[in-house]
Chain A
Amino acid sequence: MMAQRRAFCFIVGHMSGHDHDHHHDHDHSELSETQLRVRALETVLTEKGYVDPAALDAIVEAYETRIGPRNGAAVVAKAWCDPAFKQGLLADASKAVATLGHVGRIGDHLVAVENTPKIHNMVVCTLCSCYPWEMLGLPPIWYKSAPYRSRAVKDPRGVLEDFGVSLPKDTEIRVWDSTAETRFLVLPMRPAGTDGWSEQQLAEIVTRDSMIGTGLPKLPGATS
């Protein structure tokens, strides 16, 4: 935490010519330090007329309550139940998802990639944090972290072990590094023992990580 605070002060001082020691004279935490700077940004940008705080509130609320992995799970469950939808999803995911009113509006450039007994897909953004936000919500911290970004493209089996996932040696691992504005959604394999389940029931077992490729859907035995 201290290293984080020092680094933040360093760059802020560096950027603004602000008296560097000033920050250390006060007895507030590293977080309130950041909070103050973000508050200053928001106030200045609001007073300049660029942003409306009520719109900011609505954005925060959307990410806290509406935009999350349930959107992606509904898409996966539908694909498991409806072969025509699945075909459309794999052909043009943006177009297919747009037909589902309850998922909401999404932008272009979504690509769905299908796991099979032969191929396991995994998604990373080594350069930053690209992620299908509209489908999965905000990326978890681990997705944006140095360990994941550095290792996913070189040692994906090791990364999967960190998640407790072990795949047969002869399964091809296909890593998609989202270096441009294309966003990838993994379509996991439907677990055995789910015949006759409704889309809603199926959506319950589709985990966020299974749609990134670092996990598998929850097995039916583990859900009750």
Chain B
Amino acid sequence: MDGIHDMGGMDGFGKVESEPNEPPFHETWEGRILALQRAMGYAGAWHIDHARFARERLPPQVYLTSSYYQKWALAMEMNVVERGLASREELRAGHALEPGKTLKRKLTPAVVQDGLTRGSFFRQQQAPAKFKIGDRVRTLNIHPKTHTRLPRYARGKLGMVELCHGCHMFPDSVAINLGDNPQWLYTVVFDGRELWGADADPKLKVSIDAFEPYLEPA
């Protein structure tokens, strides 16, 4: 979706400010929401693409004025309710009012490392790769209303395939519950001037990781 989260190339946000000796968490609840996300992911309650799509659907004014982990909390409430794992009434009450659903598995202290190691996104290929390293490609000019990993600044642009990462589950499908729909994934590199015009830094190159459905031969 053409949302506020798709920030690449926007002006006006100011300087990048680094916090010296930044702690892992600034507040206790930040650690809890992160851990909840890991545990629910491990349980198979939802996928990373559902979490991301939920954050992207936050109203822009909320997105811009909430802290990073506040966005996680809001998105988690959305996923919990939308997926029928708890009701709004229960979240309001702060207690379960009905028994839970059965999830795939549960993260316990004994297997906590499994909750910390990312799962593999590789999937069995459905067809041979359409592109090879060195191919010139053009990204499509698409504007889906749902989750996509093709950022606006890189749509309709001419680039070159630099790496092939194999076949991965396709976030655009996963986020809207259409299944893994595996697709080839490539690193596609663009000249800075292709993205930002003739005045761009001539020594700039930018790459994205592009799924095959985003690309056409050029």
Which A residues are in CB contact (< 8 Å) with B80? 41, 44-45
Which B residues are in CB contact (< 8 Å) with A150? 7-11, 13
B146 within 8 A of A: no
Report Cα–Cα, A43/B116, bound state, in Å.
Answer: 22
Does A172 lie within 8 Å of B203, measured CB to CB? yes
Which A residues are in CB contact (< 8 Å) with B150? 179
Does B24 lie within 8 Å of A47, measured CB to CB? no
Q: Who on chain A is nearest to B61 by CB?
A: A7
Report Cα–Cα, A105/B115, bound state, in Å.
Answer: 11
Which B residues are in CB contact (< 8 Å) with A133? 118
Which A residues are in CB contact (< 8 Å) with B112? 55, 58-59, 62
Report Cα–Cα, A209/B19, bound state, in Å.
Answer: 12
Least CB distance from A36 to B in Å reads: 8
Interface string of A23-58 (1 = CB under 8 A from B): 000000001001111111111110111111011111
Least CB distance from A99 to B in Å reads: 16
Contact A59-B38, Cβ < 8 Å, known A10-B62, A127-B6, A149-B7: yes
B86 within 8 A of A: yes
Residues facing A in B1-54 (CB within 8 A) are: 5-11, 13-19, 22, 24-25, 27-29, 31-36, 38-40, 43, 45, 48, 52
Which A residues are in CB contact (< 8 Å) with B38? 59
Give the contacting residue for B52; candidates A3, A58, A128, A162; CB below 8 A: A128
Report Cα–Cα, A18/B9, bound state, in Å.
Answer: 37
Which B residues are in CB contact (< 8 Å) with A151? 13, 16
Least CB distance from B12 to A in Å reads: 8
Report Cα–Cα, A134/B113, bound state, in Å.
Answer: 11
Least CB distance from A165 to B in Å reads: 11
Interface string of B57-86 (1 = CB under 8 A from A): 011011011111010011011101100011
Contact A148-B16, Cβ < 8 Å, known A55-B39, A156-B204: yes
Question: How many of B's residues come within 8 Å of A, CB to CB?
Answer: 104
Contact A153-B8, Cβ < 8 Å, known A51-B43, A59-B115: yes
Contact A11-B62, Cβ < 8 Å, known A127-B6, A150-B13, A177-B151: yes
Contact A55-B117, Cβ < 8 Å, known A7-B61, A7-B62, A44-B95: no
Report Cα–Cα, A18/B106, bound state, in Å.
Answer: 30
Report Cα–Cα, A176/B154, bound state, in Å.
Answer: 13
Q: Who on chain B is nearest to A122 by CB?
A: B206
B133 within 8 A of A: no
Does A153 lie within 8 Å of B206, measured CB to CB? yes
Interface string of A135-160 (1 = CB under 8 A from B): 00110111011111111111111010
| Cross-chain pairs A/B with CB under 8 angstroms, 22 sampled | A4-B65, A40-B91, A48-B85, A48-B86, A51-B39, A52-B39, A54-B109, A55-B107, A60-B34, A63-B24, A107-B118, A109-B118, A127-B6, A127-B8, A134-B118, A142-B17, A150-B13, A154-B9, A154-B196, A162-B17, A175-B205, A180-B165
- Chain A residues close to B by CB (< 8 Å): 3-4, 6-8, 10-12, 14-18, 31, 34-45, 47-52, 54-60, 62-64, 67-68, 105-109, 111, 124, 126-129, 133-134, 137-138, 140-142, 144-157, 159, 162-163, 169-182, 209, 214
Q: Which 8 A-B pairs have the closest CB atoms?
A: A48-B100, A107-B118, A126-B8, A180-B209, A47-B96, A7-B65, A56-B35, A60-B31
- Chain B residues close to A by CB (< 8 Å): 5-11, 13-19, 22, 24-25, 27-29, 31-36, 38-40, 43, 45, 48, 52, 55, 58-59, 61-62, 64-68, 70, 73-74, 76-78, 80-81, 85-86, 88, 90-96, 99-101, 103, 106-109, 112-113, 115-122, 149-151, 153-154, 163, 165, 168, 171, 185, 187, 189, 195-196, 200-201, 203-211
